[in-house]
Structure 1
Amino acid sequence: MNIIKSMEDIKQLPVDNVKNNPWKTVVMYAAIGFLWIAFSDQLILVVTDNPETISTYQTYKGIFYVVITAFLLYYFIRRDYARTIALTNDVIKSNEEIVAYTEELHAMEDTLKKNIKELHLTNSMLASQNQYVDEIYNRSNAAILMWHPNGKIVDFNDQFKNLLEYDDSELAELNWINELIPTQESESSTEKIKALLEAYRNENYERTLISKSGRYLTFIWNDALIKSPADGKPLILSFGMDITVQKEQEARLNHLLSFDELTGLGNKVNFEETIRDLISKKIDFSIYSIDFDNFRHLNEVHGFKTGDQFLTTYAQALAQNFNTFDCFRWSADEFYMVHSYTNPVQENKLLQSVINFSSQKWTLNDAEYKPTVSIGVVQYPTHGKDTTTLIKNLDIALNFAKNNGRNQIVFYDEIQHEKLELYSQVAFELGRAIEKGGFELFYQPIFNIQTQKMVGAEALIRWDNPFGVNTGEFITIAENTGQIKDIDYWVIDSVFKFIAQHNQIWAHQMMSINLSAQSFNSNEILEYLKKKISFYKINPAQITFEITEYSIISNLEFTKEMVGNLKNMSFNVALDDFGTQYSSLNYLGKLNLDHLKIDKSYTDLITLNPLDKKIVRHIINLASDIGLETVAEGIETDAQLDALKQMGCKMGQGYLLSRPIPAKDIIGLVEAQS
């Protein structure tokens, strides 16, 4: 299809022929007419000069002229008409083409409008996409950097800029490899670039960058090789996640894994690593285990804050004064010291220095503390060839040092090990005895020494064991293992049962039960006593609980409350072994006690040492003045008995009066006295 594309194409149509054709026909008609008029008469005159003939010829000439002109007119009109028809057809055709083109133009216009609309939509989407990409780029938690392989920075996002603390113009001028990376990592950076150009990608390695303020930042870093869209040259696109905080936390955690948080000394992990290292190097060394005797009293009297202050002060001073040692905090108040072994003489001097240093007076914010310490010692390889054995034997030596008194130094030996094995066996068999009721109660009568009449008895536990350990020894083991509470409960249950079974015979007698510090200071004992009173239907006033000074010294207010609770339940309370540990007139006046028991160690000396006799007399008088009855323990001679009578002591017990006897014998004794 020929399409008219402009008005110039329309102007080129044969319109001029249409305009000129009528004139051409008229001119030709006029010319022929003039020629006919001019020459037809002359031609007739040549043919004839007869007027009639001429007239006839004139008529024929007119007819001929009409015919000829009609024919010519027809010819010209027909020719022009044909041309007009052709021109009309061309015009119609052109009009059709114009209409078609117009429709095509409309279609093209619609298409163009649609394309423009789609273009606007695409542009809008591209703008949104660009904004989205820009937000991702600049709001990403990842630091993004684009750079040339020579280190010249091409582009960066806001996170990179903010973390490094530079502004745009400053970063644009930097070569980041030379100016943002630590010098010690420059060589590895060169290797990274070389590897990247070969492999096109470096993934997940740690990268350290230096901020403008000089802070070192750690990143998980990734590099990718790309081509510049402008010139096709290689560029490097890097992504980094800032893990500085995590690395700092990791470093702190690693420090905590190896160092004690309170004192700053190495901890158990650090200690064991040190020992393994010395063993691997085959270096002979010694380990001291330093434990403060009764450190808990400092916490209980002055508070844990003061206790922590002492431990921190001591640890710092220990490390400073014994800087040739490796010092560690093993547990609450236990410290380990490690040094290369020299010789026995030098070893003893060092140990005595540690004793003197540790047991000096320490001045704290709100207290003064003069501790004593126990030290256990092991030597490698004599006392063990691996860490586990050395620690185990060190613990054995320390326990023996603590059991031997204050400021004691004990080297490990095999005898201690054998004793510990015996200790473990005894503890195991104690558990079986508790479970199966393998104990027996004996009763030592208590007499009114003025009238020689029995007024009660003290229940004493006995255990027939294959190890030959006596009562004091297995009680000590039970206290250390925590089994003492179960033993106390067994004794209480057995005594209550005994009284319930012999209620009429025992109606006017007292029964004393020793209560351990662990039971006395527990929250369960009162509920247990209530349950047993209800079950056995006994009179609590017949029971006296004997507590030691050791039980009450740690918390006087709690002791006062507990004694009050026992008294409210109608029990009697006696203070046992008075004068052997922390005797104080302070708590004697504050506690609502019933009896004061004078320890055997005083009774033994009242006939031998005048000073001890005076002390016992003052104790008896003091007790009487504050309303307490005294009970003397361990009376074994008539002289002791007479002295106690003269001093006004009311009650007593001991081998002179009666040994501990089985239940059936104590009942017989009461019946006989009745």
Structure 2
Amino acid sequence: MAQLKKCLTRADFSEIVLEMFPLLSKRLQKLNNLLHADFIFLASTNEKADVAHSIITLKKLEIVENISYELVNSPCEKVFNSEVCIYAKQVSAAFPKDTVLIDLNVNGYIGVPITNEENSPVGILVALYHQPIENLFHSQYLFESFASCTSEILQSALHSKHINIQKKLLDEVGKISKTGAWEFDLRAQQLYWSEEVYTIYGFSLNEPIDVDKALACYSGEDQKIITHHFENAIQNKKRYQAELAFVDANNNQKIIRTIGQVECDSDGTVIRVYGAIEDITHEKKLIQKEKDKTLYLNNLVDNLKDAVITIDQQGLIKSVNQVAIDIFGFDNADFINMNVSKLMPEPYASKHGKYLEAYIQTGNAKIIGVGRQLPGKRKNGETFQMELSLTKSNFDGKEYYIGIVRDISERIEANDTIYKMIYTDPISGYKNQTWFDKEVKEILSLGKIQKSFLYCAIVDIDSISRLNLKYGIECVNKLIKFVGETISKLIGDQFKIYKKGTDSFYILSNSQTSQPEQLSTKVKSLEERLLTPTIFDTFINGNLQKITISMGSILLPTNEYTLESMINVLEHALKQSKHLAPFGYYHLGANELQKYKRIKQIEIEVNGEKIKNELKVVFQPQFSDLNTIIASEALIRWESDTLGFVSPSEFIPIAEKTDAIINIGDWVLERVCQILAQLNDQEPPPKVSVNISSKQIVQSDFSAKLKRLIAKWRIPPTQLNLELTETTLISDIALVKQVMFDLSLIGFEFSIDDFGTGYSSLNYLKDLPISELKIDKCFIDTISKEQSPKNIIRLIIDMAKIMEVITVAEGVESITQYNYLKKCGCDLIQGYLLSKPLAEDDWLKLITTNNENH
């Protein structure tokens, strides 16, 4: 292999100067701008070193054709012998045999050698002058400096070229051996890969790489291993080697062997970590293939571990292997000529002779060539299950039968254990969720053929986490088992119990009926017993502990449900019961199931696109007196094609759980602005309040959308009053406050809806741009009662006056309520006493008439 660092030769000089011709020619031109030589050139020699050839030749600043000339009797001969040769004038006279000097009429001459790192000349730099050289010292200094700089440039270029060759060689070797080199410079924090490393990882050569990108190919555990090796190498200055699996950029699974070691500076500080990566995927596959072959052969050998018994046509045993001795417990001597029936329990033993005789006579076999499970009998009389395979063979003209016997008693026991593990809860001992799912699926499948009703309940132990903290897991596990045993005693043989999760149980009716009334009677009796307040009380660590449960149950038609939908309904029932804990109980009968289905259907449709075509807006006027309309509130109505009329109290809470409320809210604002645009010529322009949800107002683009909306429909912002509930305000008080101030600056007004029912705080209300407080209907309803907290209403109205905001009373339905509110100074009245919510056309007519009359 070539040396790592190569010294510049004369042959290299010519080659590299030609490769760097554009750069060096420009540098010569700049040099001659200072020297003002008539000719200047870089030259090398032939192999014999007797003829010089210029490689770059300038006439003044113009590149001209190169020249060749004899070195003997030439000043350049001295230059090629490492001498600086300078003639300020009459150089032609000094070298009369140099035809080039004479032909070019040269007077002044400067020649400087271009040397390599060993200070040996490899080329020359020559300047020729028609006139004597002026300022000789300055010219010599520039010439020698340029020659020295050129030497360094050419040596550096050679080194780079040599390194590239070495790199290509390394990459080629890497490709052949599937081994790549890597290096991590700790000072620069830079990672270097050879081409083969890119190939191993599946990255393209121009793709930027770093440590994190490489580590991402490995699993979390292997990332820790790599990091540990790397850090240990740096800390202890030790070499490491590891084999790791990873997935490359093309999703190919690979195995690599990586080696790493460190390099230190003179102070012993680690400055870089370097090493190699070898793709050993193919090698590992070959090894695994050999292992598989070995495993296959081992399995064949393992099969020989079965008992092998040979009998003749009389049923006498002629040979056995050691496994037969181990299984049945007889010695080898005992086996020989023993009738094989002694290895069988009754009734097989007494019937075996007749079976064998019948086969010999007829050739009809029920077992030969067919494996089957049969009981066997050991010497001590113990019976066990075995698998028997029987074949026949001829030897010396006689027919024999070879039996392969395998003791499967341990396998059966293991299967029983596995079955128990899969389908049994280890704490309570009852069948688990997996078995419950299996049974219910079968019941529901049969129920699709013949309609029947099924009862199912979830019994959940209340406050299990608190009990865990108080008594510990071991005591609580005993408690769970006790609760299960108590339920089991209470349900009798008419219901089944299953364990659900950590602290719950399923109860399932043992049979289904087409008459739900009959099942309901049994269920009612059972649930009364389960909900007895002291039924689950027990002693824990000597202390009486009151244990309570929550219970959700259903009675459902089997032909209408899947396992998943049934469990969803059950979970809903349990969730409702938890709101009533302790001993919370919630049963979904036929009516409740219909309500549940309706809720689920609302959840689906409220998030669909069709709802926008089914929504409409109605308007309820707000009056300053019995006849004068000051403003109105926009209310939403939904008439569904599938559900019929859906009350806002039904679908709004559901929509608020998802982003559906944002889409609905945006639709209402668009529709209200569209309607208000029809009244642009009304004086005074009608003002409308619109409810804004907490999810809607905290959207980053809420203000921008609202501004675009009023610009689109040319609606003054003062016509829109944005109603916020107290819950909306506290959802993100800082963000909501910012939005309110942003919109109030351009004229939007804000109202606090249902005031007094939420989390009112004067500390934040007084700092918000609020123009209106709405008194909730729950307070208005108390006015007509003899003993009612009317002072609350007066207090709200007085507080509003102090805050200089108007008050609106919602849900006013009687003249008594109206008179009391006006007496207290309430500004606006809204309710069925004065007007019900009106359809768009009716409201438009009313507003027009109201403005004409006032």
TM-score between the two structures when normalised by the length of structure 2 = 0.38
Which has the higher Rg, Structure 1 or Structure 2? 1
TM-score between the two structures when normalised by the length of structure 1 = 0.47
Greater share of residues in strand: 2
Greater share of residues in helix: 1
